[in-house]
Structure 1
Amino acid sequence: MPPAAANRFEVVIEPRRGFSLVDLAELHAYRDLFRFLVWRQVKVRYAQSAIGIGWAVIQPVFSVLLFTVVFGKLAQIESDGVPYALFSFAALVPWTYFSNALTEGVGSLVSEANMLRKVYFPRIMMPLSAVVAKLVDFVIAMGCLGIVMLAHRHLPPWEIVFMPLLTLLMVAAAAAVSIWLTALAVQYRDVKHALSFVVQLGMYASPVVYPASLIPERFQLLYALNPMVGVIEGFRACLLGTQPMPWGFFLVGSAVTALLLVTGLAFFRKRETVFADVA
C-alpha cells in the first residue's frame, strides 16, 4: 500500500438509529470545534472595538443609573431595604446575561447558514457556544457589582454559597429557550425579528425593577413559571440578603427549565436534518 494511502482515513456519516436527545460521544469528538466557536464569539464581539471589553461594563452600569433615577427616585419603587442601585444591579447582571445569550443564540444558525451547507458538525453547538461565550460578560459584570457593593459597604450573607446553583439554573434557562427558538428561527425569520420585543417584555415580566413581593400571592405560582424569577430573586438573596432564599421560585423555575430543555432538545433533534435546506 502506498504511504500516502496508508495515512488517509474516511469519516462516514450515517443516519442515526433510535432516538436520543444528545449524542454525548459526538459532542466529545467535536470538543475542539466547540472551544473554537466559543472563542470566536468572544473575539468577534470585541475585535476592532475602541472600548473593547468595556461594553460588558457599560450595558449594566448605564441601565442601573437609568433605573435608579426613573424607578428608584421618581417612581419610588420598593427595594427591600437596600439602596436601589444595589437592588437593580443584582437583578440586571443575570438578566443581561440571559437576554444577550438568548439574542446571540437564536441568531447563531441563521448567521452561519453557509457553514451549515458546507460541513457537518453537531448543530446544537452553535446556540450552546453563544450561551457559554456570554459567561465572559457575566463574570465581568459580577466584578462590577462587587465593586459597587464594596462602595456601599455591603457584604454578602452566607447564602452566597448558593450562587453556583443559581448560575447553573440561569445558564440552563438561557440554553433551553435558545435551543427552542433557534430551531424555529431557522425556518421562520419572524422569530428573530420579534425577539427584541419579547426580551424587552420579558424584563418587565421578571422582577428586575421591582421585587417579586409586589405580585399578589394568588399569582405567585404562575409568576414562578418564568425561570428568571427564581434566578433574580435568588441573586438578591445571595448577594444582598434582602430575603431568605426563594426555594419555591427556584424549584418551580428548575422544573420549567428542565421541561423546556428536554422538549427543546427533542424538537431541535427532529428539525436539524432540514436546517441546511431552509437556512
Structure 2
Amino acid sequence: MEANKVKIIEPTSGWQLVDLKELWRYKDLLYFLTLRGIKARYAQSIMGVSWAIIQPLFTTIVFTIVFGGLAKVDSDGMPYILFSYLALWPWNYFSGTLTESANSLIQNANMITKVYFPRMVLPLSSILSKLLDFIIAFVVVIGLLIYFKVSPGWGILFLPILILQLLMTSLGIGMFLSALAVKYRDVKHALTFLVQLLLYAAPVVYSTTAVPEPYQKFYILNPMVGVLEGFRAAFLDRPMPWEWIWPGFILAIIFFLFGTLYFRRMEKIFADVA
C-alpha cells in the first residue's frame, strides 16, 4: 500500500503578497466566519439589523444640531443632514472595519493555535461582515434623497471606484493593525481613541473646501478625503473631485500593499504570541 503523503506547511519568508489560490481553497471558512460575524453582532438584539440604520442616523442628527445648527458649519449649500450623512455612511464602515479587523486575530487566538488556515481570512471576514451594515445604511440615503428631492448625476457611475478605494484603505490598515495588535496589545486600547481623532481629520462634519488652501495638498493625501467627497459628489449631482480622489487612491494602494506585506511577514509568529 502506498505510504500516506504528508504535507509540511512552512511559514512564509520575506515579504510576500496574498496567496489567492490558498484563500480560494478556504473560501468556505471565509464564508462561515463572515456569517458568524454578522450573527454575533445582532444576536439577542431586539432591534436586529435596524441598528445599522439607527446608529448612523442618530449620529447624523446630533451632528446636524451641533455643527449645522449651533456652529453653522458650511455644507456647500446642501441640507446639512444630507451633507453629513453621505460622508458618515462610508466613514462608519471604515471605522468599524478598523476596530473589528484589528481585534480579529486576538479574538480568534484559539483557532490560530490549534489549526492551520490562511490567517488573512480573519481580518478579511471582519471587513466583509461589515458590508451588510453598509448596504442596509444605504436605505437612509435613498430616503434623504427622496425627501430633499435630489437626484444623483452621472457621477454615480464612478461609485465602484470609490468603494474600491474604501475597501483597499480599510483592508490595508486593518491587516496592519491586526498583525500589530497580536504583538502589542496596546493597539486595542489606542484604536478607540485614534478612530475618534480620525473622524475630525476627514471631511465628515465639514467640507474639504473649509481646509485652508496651503494645507490642502497634504490634507488630500488622506485616502478617506477623496472617498467622502466623492460620495457626496456622486449622490448630489456634482462634478467628481478627481483632484481629491486620485492622490488618496494612490495612497490607498500603498496602504493595501504595505498592510498585506506586513501581515504576511508577521504571520509566522501569530500562533506563538496570540
TM normalised by structure 1 equals 0.94
Find the residue that maps to 2:57 and give its secondary structure: helix
The partner residue of 1:240 within 221, 225, 236 is 236
Gaps of 5+ in 1: none
SS in 2 for 1:107: helix
Aligned residue runs from structure 1 range 227-266, under 5 A: 227-241=223-237, 243-266=238-261
Structure 2 residue 40 is the aligned partner of structure 1 residue 44: yes
C-alpha contact (below 8 Å) 2:15/2:265 kept by paired residues: no
Paired position in structure 2 for 1:201: 197
Which residues in structure 2 correspond to 1:1-279 (within 5 Å)? 11-16=7-12, 20-241=16-237, 243-279=238-274
SS in 1 for 2:183: coil
Opposite residue 142 of structure 2, the aligned amino acid is G
Q: Return the letter of the residue paired with 1:247.
A: W
Q: Once superposed, which parts of structure 1, at least 4 consecutive aligned residues long, lie more than 4 Å away?
A: 8-11, 15-19
Unaligned runs of 5+ in 2: none
Q: Which amino acid aligns with 2:135?
A: V
Query: Whose RCO is larger (CA < 8 A, sep 6+)?
Result: 2
The amino acid of 1:83's aligned partner reads: P
Pairwise CA distance, 1:12 = 3.5
Q: What CA distance in whole angstroms lies between the structure 2 residues aligned with 1:86 and 1:181?
A: 32
Alpha-carbon deviation of 1:218?
1.6
Aligned residues with identical type, % of pairs: 50
CA distance in 1, matches of 2:30, 2:173: 20
Looking at structure 2, the residues matched to 101 and 29 of structure 1 have their Cα atoms a distance apart, in angstroms, of 24
- Does the CA-based 8 Å contact 2:102-2:123 persist in structure 1? yes
Determine helix, strand or coil for the equivalent of 2:21.
helix
User: TM-score with structure 2 length normalisation?
Assistant: 0.96
Give RMSD over aligned pairs. 1.6
Secondary structure of the corresponding residue to residue 204 of structure 2:
coil
